[in-house]
Amino acid sequence: MDPERLILEFQNLLFIESPSKKEGKLAYYIADIFEALGFKCFFDNSAENTGSEVGNLIVKIPGTIPSEPLFFCAHLDTVGPCENPNIIYENGIFRTDGKTILGADDKAGIAILIETAKVLKENFFPYPPLEFIFTTCEEIGLLGAKYLNIELLDAKEGLVLDSKSPQVIINGAPSSFKFFLEINGKSAHAGIEPEKGINAIHLLAKILAELPTGRIDEETTMNIGKISGGKYINIVPDLAIAEGEMRSHSQEKLEKLQQLIQHKVEEIIKKYPVKIDDLPSFKLKFKKIFQAFYIPPSDNLCQLVQKAGQRLGWEMTFKKHEGGSDANVFNEKGLKSLILGTGMQRVHTTQEFIEVKDLIKATQLVIEIIKLKSELS
């Protein structure tokens, strides 16, 4: 690999803004690079469902030896703020001036795959058939992966470049459910006849006070992230809404949390002392965002990554991750997937940064995985 070429390409990518649903410019830039290298590129039709400017980009790299194919994935979109980034590179670290995110999540992954493709084109070693997947709208619900037609892929297993340390293999991640709670009260003049109203905000507050939040146990969390309601301070509010999420590596614990929320809402509504016109009432909905997965370290894909790292002289560790990624969706679709680190740190904040040495290490690992895969074929 060429470290200077990798660094320059990564820097180029950082200046291409690609917030969710506006990944077009970045996607076409990447496609031009792979097509210039002689590899087949195409976009799927996921944009019809995601609302993105483009579909997921898929790159097919024919192998030089007969082997089961392997895929690698990085997502195209970033969180905000990402407009007009002031990129600073000093002392081997990329960061911004603190006004925007950096975008290493996940342009580090993209840069790694571009450099890998260039190394393959230079053909220093045999390699198996590969597929590079660049998904859209990952940051707003893993939408690109959810609407990816897996029949377009030949590979049945692969690696998602979307974590921190190159020496940590993420082999498990939780399920996530979103919940939506709507409380319906009754409006009235807050000063003249408040007794004719039912304060939906007050009722919602009583419910939320009874619910657990934060870290429930070592594998379960819950958060109430949004609250809204009311129109004017002199009107008893007739509507209040709360939205939140719960995550756990245990499906049973998620089901118990849902039952707890349902029970508390019903209990507090039933005990509320004021009843007017069948009010108060509520609506409670749960929606799965992504499904948990776990791949044991003894699995062949885990062993492939671990041995590749060991050949580089590294100590590789396995870890469960608390965030969601395209790997959750791929595993649910039957595509066995692990998550690899690219070196990105403090993602989703304006203090995001990446050390170039980690970016280089992550690229070395990807190349070594491909080499080892070919040797084992």
Q: What is the per-residue pLDDT across 29-81, written as a single tens digit (0 to 9) for each? A: 999 999 999 999 999 999 999 999 999 999 999 999 999 999 999 999 999 99
pLDDT tens-digit readout, 309-332: 999 999 999 999 988 999 999 999
Once rounded to an integer, what is the mean pLDDT over residues 130-150? 97
Phi, psi of 26 (to 5 degrees): -65, -45
Q: What pairs with residue 332 in β-bridges?
A: none
Query: Which of 9, 23, 77, 105 is flagged as catalytic?
Result: 77
Supply 71's token pair.
């895929």
Counted residue by residue, the chain has a size of 377
**pLDDT category, 281, cuts 50, 70, 90?**
very high
Element (H, E) at 175: strand 175-184
**pLDDT category, 124, cuts 50, 70, 90?**
confident
Once rounded to an integer, what is the mean pLDDT over residues 21-25? 98
Q: Could you tell me if residue 221 is left (phi over 0), alpha (psi between -120 and 50 degrees) or otherwise beta?
A: beta
pLDDT tens-digit readout, 153-173: 999 999 999 999 999 999 999
- Distance, in Å, from the CA atom of 202 to the CA atom of 337, rounded to the nearest integer, reads 45
pLDDT of residue 377 exceeding 90? no
- 138 labelled catalytic: yes
- 90 labelled catalytic: no
- On whether the CB atoms of residues 89 and 11 are closer than 8 A, the answer is yes
Once rounded to an integer, what is the mean pLDDT over residues 290-310? 97
- Distance, in Å, from the CA atom of 348 to the CA atom of 139, rounded to the nearest integer, reads 10
- Distance, in Å, from the CA atom of 97 to the CA atom of 118, rounded to the nearest integer, reads 31
**pLDDT category, 308, cuts 50, 70, 90?**
very high
- The whole-number pLDDT of residue 63 equals 93
- The whole-number pLDDT of residue 170 equals 97
CA dihedral 162, 164, 170, 175 (to 10 degrees): -60
- Which amino acid appears at position 328 of this protein? N
Give the chain's domains with CATH numbers. Answer: 3-173+292-376 (3.40.630.10), 175-290 (3.30.70.360)
- The whole-number pLDDT of residue 292 equals 96
Please give the biggest Cα pair distance in the chain.
83
User: What's the helix, strand, coil split of the chain in %, to 5?
Assistant: 35, 30, 35
Would strands 336-341 and 157-163 be described as parallel, antiparallel, or unpaired?
parallel
- Which amino acid appears at position 364 of this protein? Q
Percent of the chain with pLDDT over 90: 97
- Sign of the CA dihedral 151, 157, 158, 160? positive
- Distance, in Å, from the CA atom of 343 to the CA atom of 341, rounded to the nearest integer, reads 6
Once rounded to an integer, what is the mean pLDDT over residues 135-145? 97
When the pLDDT of each residue in the chain is averaged and rounded to a whole number, the result is 96
Query: Which of 9, 105, 138, 352 is flagged as catalytic?
Result: 138
- On whether the CB atoms of residues 363 and 121 are closer than 8 A, the answer is no
- On whether the CB atoms of residues 363 and 1 are closer than 8 A, the answer is yes
Would strands 317-320 and 239-248 be described as parallel, antiparallel, or unpaired?
unpaired
pLDDT tens-digit readout, 240-264: 999 999 999 999 999 999 999 999 9
pLDDT of residue 123 exceeding 90? no
Residue 215 CB coordination number (10 Å): 12
pLDDT of residue 288 exceeding 90? yes
Element (H, E) at 293: strand 293-294
